[in-house]
């Protein structure tokens, strides 16, 4: 029996309707034709003639299909002239959108893959943009924040510090500023109830909060008359501290608390919304503020006593450059009047926003670039999917054109479909980013302090909608333009099964090549970061962190007013700690490596005066107890280490780092030299007794600067870090150590207890953050590229089945077939790799700041990336290649 | 009324009228029109089905697949209430039209 449905299907142009409906219609027509045929045969006609007669009406098949389609559904193309142009456009757009939704729901596989791809691309962009927005773009939460600047001499890290007297001159003599305020860091040991606690705090001038444009939520602001050496013991609490230590007591204002054995009156509480960003280490959020309380008679208020930071508010309308020139002129006059107090540096103004975010800006810019690449890959893949789909839809589109749709109309229809996909992907991406931003916040280094406030706000939503639409335009334009060029005749008359040229057009191959190229760039970035972090962790820091526990203590208050009291207590404390089981050595230091910046002291060599003492070199000074070098395993290069014999009343001694010795005495022995540190005119001449190895103090990546060590017994620091080298896991010692310290000094706060290896890891955190994210984006890029490549190669194998069959029939071996298919894939990959390597070599430059000991064009990394991509490409091709090898010539040839 | 509209209108009238009697499938409709008009009016696949689908879309007729044991499923069409109203109106207007033609051109009304 004849399969009438197939007969009709063969004769009828495929109907531009959904599959189920088209099938019904074919079924119905088949019944009609069959019965007609049967009747004709019954009336005596022979079979062939009957068949011809029954099928005759279908001869003009394209027109018939068009008629049927037009009758079967609302007319899509020739609407009545719109009442107004605008209303028509909107109505058309709505109809296009509805139509697009229907089409997409009918192809759920295609829609899912496209939307997921876009969601990953847009989600990654939105997530990184949320971070960028929170950390860099979101204005500081102060009044008119653009006018806030840090003021100082140009130092290695932006604006330098200032002395009190100098500050007064700046404030009084400059004209470009509405006001200037002072800040300095402060640590106060708060004793209310329970354990003594060290609170990160700041001392500020009385106008500080007014300068920022913020006001306490409870109580009052500081008064100018309180900002004196006698009157400054008033404090304002942060909302957090108020809740944590004072139970959010509404009557806290007026209460007197004891800190460092002195009484302070609480005068106010800041609102919870106040972001206390400004402090010496701005990421360490201040929880309490008191007044600077200086006057010019104080010894540490001198012009060169640079330990304060100045913040200014520019007058409205005064440009940064004018204000800088103004303050520079003031400083020049001061330098002329007090030549020994100032260096020759020029003045600088740093926008407060930059001061707080400058360090993370390059890293975030690189990440933003990386996610843009991920999005481009996603675009290329979706464009590829659309092109493949176009091949199936050409007839539909040709039919619509035949029914009177203009080309512009078709292009618009396709662009609406793309926009819909883009927006769906964007919505999914937004969800993805809303979920991943908190994850990023936990991963981020402390330098991105404002990341805690990252969330999906209006700006982020607008951003993601904008990139969703831009993306849609990008991936939709190519297929849409191709659609507008469809050859009507050829398409309508073409055989159903013959695949169109759009399937593996050069455009699709180029898109995959672009995928490969973009993946190369991302993977190169990831590879370079991995190598950097590896090298960084492999660097010799100059000390051995393994097995060392660190904890901070502070000896403040009346009981420690005298240096001897601190020294005695320190010795007792260390002795007690030394008795703990498993402890090998114990010491204390004013600063430990990777625990924050060191403090540099002027270094005045006997017999070698500089033109002005301010121009003398300034090595970092670390106060240490004798066993410090043993605990940290810092090697002695020459001379001797400190011993218990170096006391306050014995000869003043000094140990210098190798770099200090080499720089200052390139041809001489540093040992035995006499140096005065800090004050060039007073104090003892200190004898250098030893030279020790350089230590990477600031961060692992930083070349060690000049360093020197003084015995704690001779220059006594009250804030100390205790370092304990134990045989066991250092963190196990923490509780016993804390108890041991309190058994000697119950009033000493112990805080920031951390194994030294943790501090090392923390110092690598910003780079690790970059590395992890670039790895992630690289992996996504690799996956998307593999999928794109797989799609194109398998499509071409299907398309070429017949050709491959003929080749096989003519005697081509399996090897030949494999070579043929793999060859076509390899061309794409090779092209992509070539372009990618060139682009990557140019792009990785921007990573330079984050790299360590790796060139941005590191050949090994690039080679590895090329190998990885090649391997993935081979894998992606293996499935279609296997399919090509199984092509049966007989089946392939019968296919047409 | 153009010739094309006239024919289209008459085709719809014929189909609706045939469905008024009982539910029928497409081939039956085509065959009946051919027989009853003695071949003067004939439909084939390419003209019948678009008309059926158009009528169906306008809600004048409703198609339904009916499976009979032993034979393949067929699509039967029935006249809807809306179709009945349109048919009645068409009949009135055609009747008026024929009466007018008859009065003027003396065409005998069948």
Domains of chain B listed by start with CATH number: 3-105 (1.10.10.10)
Say whether residue A60 is in contact with chain B using an 8 A CB cutoff.
yes
Model confidence at A455, in pLDDT bands (50, 70, 90)?
A: confident
Q: Which of A21, A32, A42 to mutate to test the interface with B (most CBs of B within 10 A)?
A: A32
* Identity of the residue in B50, B74, B75 whose CB atom sits nearest the CB atom of A67: B50
Is residue A212 over pLDDT 80?
yes
Name the DSSP class of A625.
-
Say whether residue B89 is in contact with chain A using an 8 A CB cutoff.
no
Q: Do B75 and A31 touch (CB under 8 A)?
A: yes
Q: Which residues of B touch A32 (CB under 8 A)?
A: 26-27, 30, 45, 48-49
In this structure, are residues A61 and A8 in contact, taking their beta carbons and an 8 Å threshold? no
Q: Which of B26, B32, B43, B53 to mutate to test the interface with A (most CBs of A within 10 A)?
A: B53
Q: Which of A76-90, A644-658, A872-886 has the lowest mean pLDDT?
A: A76-90
User: Going by C-beta distance under 8 Å and a sequence separation of 6 or more, which residues neighbour residue A555?
Assistant: A565, A566, A569, A570, A718, A719, A720, A745, A748
Q: Do B53 and A72 touch (CB under 8 A)?
A: yes
Say whether residue A32 is in contact with chain B using an 8 A CB cutoff.
yes
Helix (H) or strand (E) holding A197: strand A197-204
DSSP conformation letters of A271-298: -TT-----SSSTTS---EEEE----TTS
Say whether residue A27 is in contact with chain B using an 8 A CB cutoff.
yes
Say whether residue A71 is in contact with chain B using an 8 A CB cutoff.
yes
* Identity of the residue in A36, A57, A70 whose CB atom sits nearest the CB atom of B27: A36
| Rounded Cα–Cα distance for residues A252 and A218 (Å) | 9
Q: Which residues of B touch A36 (CB under 8 A)?
A: 27, 45
pLDDT tens digits for A154-181?
765 667 788 899 999 999 999 999 999 9
Say whether residue B72 is in contact with chain A using an 8 A CB cutoff.
yes
Is residue B97 over pLDDT 90?
no
For residue A566, the model assigns a pLDDT of 92
Q: Which residues of A touch B46 (CB under 8 A)?
A: 57-58, 60, 63-64, 67
Say whether residue B109 is in contact with chain A using an 8 A CB cutoff.
no
**In 3D, which of A121, A791, A134, A123 has the Cα closest to residue A522?**
A121
| Rounded Cα–Cα distance for residues B28 and B24 (Å) | 6
The minimum CA-CA distance between A73 and chain B, rounded to whole Å, is 7
pLDDT tens digits for A711-765?
999 999 888 999 999 876 777 888 889 899 989 988 788 888 889 988 888 888 8
Question: What integer is the mean pLDDT of B42-60?
Answer: 84
Say whether residue A62 is in contact with chain B using an 8 A CB cutoff.
no
Question: What integer is the mean pLDDT of A103-119?
Answer: 86
| Rounded Cα–Cα distance for residues A2 and A37 (Å) | 11
Q: Which residues of B touch A29 (CB under 8 A)?
A: 45, 49
Model confidence at A214, in pLDDT bands (50, 70, 90)?
A: very high
Percent of chain B whose pLDDT exceeds 70: 85
**In 3D, which of A203, A200, A165 has the Cα closest to residue A182?**
A203
Nearest CA in chain A to B43: A57
For residue A497, the model assigns a pLDDT of 43
| Rounded Cα–Cα distance for residues A233 and A201 (Å) | 13
Say whether residue B4 is in contact with chain A using an 8 A CB cutoff.
no
Question: What integer is the mean pLDDT of A444-472?
Answer: 80
For residue A284, the model assigns a pLDDT of 60
DSSP conformation letters of A205-224: -TTHHHHHT---SEE----G
Say whether residue A72 is in contact with chain B using an 8 A CB cutoff.
yes
Nearest CA in chain A to B26: A32
Q: Which of A252-266, A605-619, A631-645, A748-762 has the lowest mean pLDDT?
A: A605-619
Say whether residue B98 is in contact with chain A using an 8 A CB cutoff.
no
Q: Which of A5, A28, A69 to mutate to test the interface with B (most CBs of B within 10 A)?
A: A28
pLDDT tens digits for A382-395?
888 888 777 777 77
Model confidence at A217, in pLDDT bands (50, 70, 90)?
A: very high
Give whole-number Cα distances, A658 to A475, A560, A610, A669, in Å: 60, 34, 22, 11
Is residue A82 over pLDDT 60?
no
Q: Do B57 and A56 touch (CB under 8 A)?
A: no
pLDDT tens digits for A800-848?
777 777 888 888 888 888 888 788 788 888 999 999 999 999 988 888 8
Is residue A861 over pLDDT 90?
yes
Q: Which residues of A touch B67 (CB under 8 A)?
A: none
Model confidence at A666, in pLDDT bands (50, 70, 90)?
A: very high
- Look over chain A and give the mean of its residue pLDDT values, rounded to a whole number: 84
The minimum CA-CA distance between A51 and chain B, rounded to whole Å, is 14
Question: What integer is the mean pLDDT of A500-519?
Answer: 75
The minimum CA-CA distance between B56 and chain A, rounded to whole Å, is 8
Is residue A658 over pLDDT 70?
yes
A603 phi/psi in degrees, rounded to 5: -125, 100
Nearest CA in chain A to B72: A31
Q: Which of A302-311, A827-836, A846-855, B33-42 has the lowest mean pLDDT?
A: B33-42
Top-confidence range, A320-334, A748-762, A870-884: A320-334
Q: Do B46 and A57 touch (CB under 8 A)?
A: yes
Q: Which of B34, B46, B66 to mutate to test the interface with A (most CBs of A within 10 A)?
A: B46
Q: Do B57 and A67 touch (CB under 8 A)?
A: no
Question: What integer is the mean pLDDT of A855-874?
Answer: 90
Q: How much helix, strand and coil, in percent to the nearest 5, is found in chain B?
A: 60, 15, 25
Say whether residue B75 is in contact with chain A using an 8 A CB cutoff.
yes
Question: What integer is the mean pLDDT of A579-589?
Answer: 92
pLDDT tens digits for A521-576?
989 988 998 888 888 888 889 999 999 999 988 887 778 888 999 999 999 999 99
Say whether residue A29 is in contact with chain B using an 8 A CB cutoff.
yes
* Identity of the residue in A28, A35, A58 whose CB atom sits nearest the CB atom of B46: A58
Top-confidence range, A451-460, A544-553, A696-705: A544-553
Q: Which two tokens stand for residue B62?
A: 């409703």
Q: Do B53 and A71 touch (CB under 8 A)?
A: yes
In this structure, are residues A522 and A778 in contact, taking their beta carbons and an 8 Å threshold? yes
Q: Do A67 and B30 touch (CB under 8 A)?
A: no
For residue A504, the model assigns a pLDDT of 54
pLDDT tens digits for A328-341?
999 999 988 988 78
Quote the Cα angle for A238-A241-A244, to 5°.
150
Is residue A186 over pLDDT 90?
no
Give whole-number Cα distances, A104 to A101, A114, A503, A792, in Å: 5, 10, 19, 21
Say whether residue A648 is in contact with chain B using an 8 A CB cutoff.
no
Q: Which of A71, A74, A75 to mutate to test the interface with B (most CBs of B within 10 A)?
A: A71
The size of the A-B interface in CB pairs under 8 A is 58
| Rounded Cα–Cα distance for residues A216 and A239 (Å) | 10
**In 3D, which of A342, A310, A341, A315 has the Cα closest to residue A326?**
A315
Nearest CA in chain B to A61: B46
Nearest CA in chain A to B48: A68
pTM: 0.66
Q: Do A68 and B53 touch (CB under 8 A)?
A: yes
Selected residue with higher pLDDT from A860 and A15: A860
Helix (H, G, I), strand (E, B) or coil at A834: helix
pLDDT tens digits for A358-386?
677 778 888 888 888 888 888 888 888 88
Q: Do A24 and B25 touch (CB under 8 A)?
A: no
Q: Strands A262-269 and A256-259: what pairing? A: antiparallel
For residue A733, the model assigns a pLDDT of 86
* Identity of the residue in A28, A31, A71 whose CB atom sits nearest the CB atom of B54: A71
Say whether residue A30 is in contact with chain B using an 8 A CB cutoff.
no
Q: Do A28 and B54 touch (CB under 8 A)?
A: no
């Amino acid at each position: 029996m004849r399969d009438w449905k197939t007969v009709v299907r063969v004769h009828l142009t495929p109907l531009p309707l959904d599959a189920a409906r088209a099938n019904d219609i074919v079924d119905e027509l088949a019944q009609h034709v069959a019965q007609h045929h049967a009747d004709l045969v019954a009336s005596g006609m022979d079979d062939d003639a009957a068949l011809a007669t029954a099928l005759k009406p279908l001869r003009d098949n394209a027109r018939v299909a068009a008629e049927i389609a037009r009758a079967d559904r609302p007319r899509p193309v020739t609407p009545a002239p719109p009442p107004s142009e605008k209303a028509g456009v909107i109505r058309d757009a709505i109809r296009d959108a509805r139509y697009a939704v229907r089409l997409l729901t009918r192809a759920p596989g295609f829609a899912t893959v496209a939307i997921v791809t876009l969601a990953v691309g847009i989600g990654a962009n939105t997530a990184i943009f949320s971070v960028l927005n929170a950390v860099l773009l979101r204005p500081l939460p102060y009044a008119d924040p653009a006018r806030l600047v840090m003021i100082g001499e140009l130092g290695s890290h932006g604006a330098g510090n200032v002395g009190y007297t100098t500050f007064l001159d700046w404030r009084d003599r400059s004209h470009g500023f509405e006001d200037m305020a002072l800040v300095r860091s402060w640590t106060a040991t708060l004793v209310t109830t329970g354990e003594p606690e060290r609170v990160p705090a700041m001392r500020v001038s009385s106008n500080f909060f007014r300068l920022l444009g913020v006001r306490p939520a409870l109580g009052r602001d500081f008064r100018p008359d309180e900002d004196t050496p006698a009157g400054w013991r008033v404090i304002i609490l942060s909302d957090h501290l108020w809740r944590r230590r004072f139970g959010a007591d509404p009557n806290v204002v007026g209460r007197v608390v004891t800190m460092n054995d002195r009484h302070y009156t609480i005068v106010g509480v800041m609102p919870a919304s106040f972001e206390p960003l400004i402090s010496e280490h701005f990421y360490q959020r201040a929880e309490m503020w008191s007044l600077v309380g200086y006057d010019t008679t104080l010894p540490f208020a001198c012009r060169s006593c640079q330990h304060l930071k100045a913040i200014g508010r520019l007058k409205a309308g005064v440009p940064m450059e004018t204000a800088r020139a103004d303050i520079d002129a003031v400083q020049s006059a001061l330098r002329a009047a007090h030549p020994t107090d100032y260096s020759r540096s020029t003045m600088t103004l740093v926008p407060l926003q930059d001061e707080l975010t400058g360090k993370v800006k390059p890293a975030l810019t690189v990440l933003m670039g990386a996610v843009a690449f991920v999005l481009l890959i996603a675009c290329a893949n979706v464009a590829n999917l659309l092109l493949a789909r176009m091949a199936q839809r050409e007839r539909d589109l040709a039919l619509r054109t035949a029914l009177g749709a203009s080309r512009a109309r078709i292009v618009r229809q396709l662009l609406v479909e793309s926009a819909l996909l883009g927006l769906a992907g964007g919505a999914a991406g937004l969800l993805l980013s809303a979920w991943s931003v908190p994850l990023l916040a936990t991963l981020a280094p402390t330098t991105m302090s404002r990341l805690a406030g990252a969330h999906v706000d209006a700006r982020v939503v607008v951003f993601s909608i904008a990139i969703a639409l831009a993306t849609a335009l990008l991936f939709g334009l190519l297929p849409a333009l191709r659609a507008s060029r469809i050859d009507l005749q050829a398409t309508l008359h073409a055989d159903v099964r013959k695949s169109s040229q759009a399937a593996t057009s050069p455009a699709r191959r180029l898109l995959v090549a672009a995928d490969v190229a973009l993946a190369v760039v991302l993977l190169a970035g990831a590879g370079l970061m991995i190598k950097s972090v590896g090298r960084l962790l492999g660097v010799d820091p100059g000390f051995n962190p393994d097995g060392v526990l660190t904890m901070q203590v502070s000896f403040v208050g009346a009981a420690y007013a005298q240096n001897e009291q601190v020294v005695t207590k320190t010795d007792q404390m260390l002795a007690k700690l030394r008795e703990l089981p498993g402890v090998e050595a114990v010491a204390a230091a004013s600063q430990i490596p990777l625990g924050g910046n060191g403090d540099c002291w002027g270094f005045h060599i006997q017999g070698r005066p500089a033109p002005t003492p301010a121009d003398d070199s300034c090595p970092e000074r670390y106060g240490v107890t004798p066993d410090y070098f043993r605990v940290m395993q810092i090697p002695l290069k020459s001379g001797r280490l400190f011993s218990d014999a170096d006391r306050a009343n014995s000869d003043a001694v000094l140990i210098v780092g190798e770099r200090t010795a080499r720089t200052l005495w390139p041809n001489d022995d540093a040992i035995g030299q006499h140096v005065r540190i800090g004050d060039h005119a007073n104090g003892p001449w200190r004898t250098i007794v030893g030279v020790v190895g350089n230590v990477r103090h600031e961060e692992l990546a930083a070349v060690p600067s000049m360093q020197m060590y003084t015995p704690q017994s001779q220059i006594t620091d009250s804030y100390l870090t205790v370092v304990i080298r134990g045989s066991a896991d250092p963190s196990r010692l923490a509780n016993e150590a804390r108890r041991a310290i309190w058994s000697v000094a119950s009033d000493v706060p112990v805080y920031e207890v951390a194994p030294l290896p943790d501090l090392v890891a923390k110092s690598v955190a910003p780079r690790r953050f970059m590395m992890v994210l670039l790895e992630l984006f690289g992996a996504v890029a690799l996956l998307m590229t593999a999928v794109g490549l797989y799609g194109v190669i398998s499509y071409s194998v299907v398309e070429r089945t017949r050709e491959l069959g003929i080749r096989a029939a003519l005697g081509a071996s399996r090897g030949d077939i494999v070579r043929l298919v793999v060859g076509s894939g390899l061309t794409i990959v090779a092209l992509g790799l070539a372009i990618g390597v060139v682009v990557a070599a140019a792009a990785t430059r921007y990573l330079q700041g984050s790299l360590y000991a790796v060139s941005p064009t590191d050949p090994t990394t690039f080679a590895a990336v090329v190998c990885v991509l090649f391997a993935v490409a081979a894998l992606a091709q293996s499935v279609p290649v296997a399919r090509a090898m199984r092509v049966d010539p007989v089946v392939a040839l019968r296919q047409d | 009324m153009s010739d094309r509209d006239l024919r289209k209108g008459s085709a719809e009238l014929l189909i609706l009228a045939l469905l008024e009697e009982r539910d029928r499938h497409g081939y039956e409709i085509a065959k009946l029109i051919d027989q009853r008009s003695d071949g003067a009016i004939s439909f084939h696949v390419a003209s019948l089905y678009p008309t059926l689908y158009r009528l169906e879309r306008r809600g004048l007729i409703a198609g339904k697949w009916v499976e009979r044991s032993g034979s393949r499923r067929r699509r039967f069409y029935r006249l809807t209430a809306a179709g009945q109203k349109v048919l009645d109106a068409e009949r009135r207007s055609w009747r008026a039209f024929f009466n007018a033609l008859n009065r003027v051109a003396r065409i005998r009304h069948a």
